[in-house]
Structure 1
Amino acid sequence: MTLESVPDQTSVAALLEPLDHELAPALDRLHARLARQAQELHRLDIAYRVVESPIGRLLLAATEQGILRVAFDLENHDAVLQLLADNVSPRILEAPARLDEAARELDEYFRGTRRAFDLPLDFRLSRGFRLSVLHHLPDIAYGSTESYAQVALAAGSPKAVRAVGTACATNPLPVVVPCHRVVKSDGSFGGYLGGVDAKRTLLALEAAA
């Protein structure tokens, strides 16, 4: 073989591209079958998928009990999945079907046709006062807000304003459990796990409905 006859990297890539297109559907089918088998055999503890939204790509993760985690892109989805594997179960797999309903309800929410989520939730990542705060947040009406002080009072600890801020900042189920509806007493946004722009987008979406 002469030097001139050796294909360059561009030529090799061009030759392999049709093969990649042929293999991709088969690999997708194999992955889907493995996910179904894992779920049927109860060897799948956490299923996950990624959905697109007006506030960026959202990672959704669920156990058989319900939605366990909603994560923003800026949290680093790979890091979030690793934490779930370390702290909940290593039996974790991309299995979109378990999250079809969650994806559908989120799509309806972002299109302005859904005001409340009707999804089973798995709150195991929160406990104590933080969990009390999370249980209260869905009671804040769509399109409305409450101050951190108001949430502290509703959660049973009127002086725990800072703790409410921490509970919102560590909410494992943002959007679905609406910590974006909690603002400062002066009406300013305060912090948000997904960033201030995401919080502004969510509040504007609800105000416009």
Structure 2
Amino acid sequence: MRWTVIDSPIGEFSVAGDGGSVCGAHFGRVASAVDEPADAPTRQAVTELRAYFAGQLTDFTLPLSIPRGSEFERAVWQVMTEIPYGETLTYGEVARRLGDPGAARAVGVACNRNPIPVIVPCHRIVGAGGKLVGFGGGLDRKVRLLELEARVALQRAWS
């Protein structure tokens, strides 16, 4: 796994490729990260992330490889990828979609373990009533990501 770091509106953001796909992302600079991507998937990730942060991209098309996670976590991460840009679901709604209405806390744990944040959009999952709770990158980053998406979605709807 080779890490590359980019500057973004939410601070440094690292993304990793394994030669054939993107397999990790991290808020901040990973110690081994370099400034130039080493492989095609990571170059694509850098390009798409820059376009996303600029409000020009609403759907990532990267090849992804998630190297770990329980069956439940993987199911939560899949639901995350199905949440439309600029929209949110609650932890409880995700749990209900997975057929286990009592698993809202477990959904939160799976969100925290998401190995590819932003690209697999865990920031789109919120607490009951839309409350902003918990985020591995910090609530300030979650707010900024949600505001970016809301602004872009509104601009697109009104243009």
Query: What's the TM-score bracket when you normalise by the shorter of the two chains?
Result: 0.7 to 0.9
Is residue 106 from structure 1 mapped to residue 49 from structure 2 by the alignment?
yes
* 105, 130, 151: which one aligns with 1:208: 151
Percentage of matched positions with identical amino acids:
39
The correspondence for 1:63, drawn from 14, 18, 29, is 18
Partner residue, 2:82: 139
Task: Verify the 8 A CA contact 1:68 1:125 in the aligned structure 2.
Answer: no
Report if the CA contact (8 A) 2:87-2:124 is conserved. yes
Find the aligned partners of 1:173 and 1:53 in 2 and give their Cα distance.
16
Matched residues, number: 149
Q: How far 1:183 moved relative to its partner? A: 0.4
Runs (5+) with no aligned partner, structure 2:
153-159
Contact (CA 8 Å) 2:3, 2:30: kept in 1 or not? no
- Which of the residues 190, 193, 201 maps onto 2:133? 190
For 1:126, the equivalent position in structure 2 comes to 69
Deviation at 1:187, TM superposition (A): 1.2
Provide the rounded CA distance (Å) in 1 between the counterparts of 2:20 and 2:104: 30
Higher radius of gyration, 1 or 2: 1
The residue that corresponds to 1:97 in the other structure is 38
Assess if the C-alpha contact under 8 Å between 2:123 and 2:145 holds in 1.
yes
Greater share of residues in helix: 1
- Normalising by structure 1, report the TM-score: 0.68
Larger deviation, residues 63-72 vs 161-170: 63-72
Q: Map residues 19-168 of structure 1 onto 2, 5 A cutoff.
A: 46-73=1-28, 77-78=30-31, 94=34, 96-98=37-39, 99-168=42-111
Higher relative contact order, structure no. (Cα contacts within 8 Å, ≥ 6 residues apart): 2
Structure 1 gap ranges (5+)? 1-45, 82-92
Contact kept in structure 2, 1:145 and 1:183, CA below 8 Å:
yes
Post-superposition shift, 1:97?
A: 3.2
1:174: Cα distance to partner? 0.4
- Distance in 2 (CA, whole Å) between partners of 1:189 and 1:171 is 17
Instruction: Give the secondary-structure state (helix, strand or coil) at the position aligned to 1:77.
Output: coil
What is the TM-score normalised by the length of structure 2?
0.88
Rounded to whole Å, the distance in 1 between the matches of 2:135 and 2:77 is: 15
The whole-number CA distance in structure 2 between the counterparts of 1:100 and 1:77 is: 17
Counterparts of 2:21 and 2:76, CA distance in 1: 19
Distance 2:151 2:108 in 1: 26
Offset at residue 128 of structure 1 (A): 1.6
